[in-house]
Amino acid sequence: MEKEYRYLLQLLGAYVNRRAPEPAADVDWEKLLQLAKTHTVTGILGHMAKKYQLCPDPQTAGTLRQAALATAMKFARRAELCGAFCRQLNKAGIEHILMKGAVVRDYYPVPELRRCGSGDPSGRPGEMPCADAGGGLYAQGGLGPGVQLYPG
């Protein structure tokens, strides 16, 4: 396993356990950034690099800060869309549960960095045709099939 993989795992462990990571020893930050992109954890990497001043290269540090901010902004958009959808379901009198990132994010050290690429609405049998493509509430809320809420 490359040192960048090991260091990324160590950073993620430190993030989840809310502790300071070990300083990077001879880590290629460009490789680390590419790994974080591959595993969709650039926001967490950016947060940790900024909080603990880990990245020695100012340009890469700036890229990481932007990644953390972009993750938070995408989450805010996602949360608003999910909220609008839930309000539509409430207005229609449909009991429902919205699962995944929008729910579990509150258990993350920095909830805004929790990625949520999809929402899985659940309801009583026969009461969720509103989630169908076309004119259903799900589609009206901008959450229909094929809508990529978390690109990249």
DSSP, res 131: G
Position 89 scores a pLDDT of: 80
Report whether 50 contacts 64 (CB < 8 A).
Answer: yes
Percent of the chain with pLDDT over 70: 64
Work out the number of other CB atoms within 10 angstroms of the CB of residue 64: 26
Tens-place pLDDT, residues 102-115: 556 666 677 666 65
Position 32 scores a pLDDT of: 92
Answer whether 0.85 is exceeded by the pTM.
no
Tens-place pLDDT, residues 4-63: 999 999 999 999 898 999 988 789 998 998 999 888 888 889 889 989 999 888 888 888
Report whether 57 contacts 25 (CB < 8 A).
Answer: no
Whole-angstrom Cα distance, residue 78 to residue 82?
6
Backbone angles phi, psi at 94, to 5 degrees: -100, 115
Sorted by sequence, the CB contacts under 8 Å of residue 75 that are 6+ apart come out as 101, 105, 111, 112, 113, 114, 115, 116
DSSP, res 24: P
Q: Which amino acid is at 61?
A: A
Between 118 and 52, the higher pLDDT residue? 52
- Ordered DSSP codes for 111-128: GGG------EEEESTTS-
Report whether 35 contacts 67 (CB < 8 A).
Answer: no
Mean pLDDT on 134-152: 47
Between 117 and 133, the higher pLDDT residue? 117
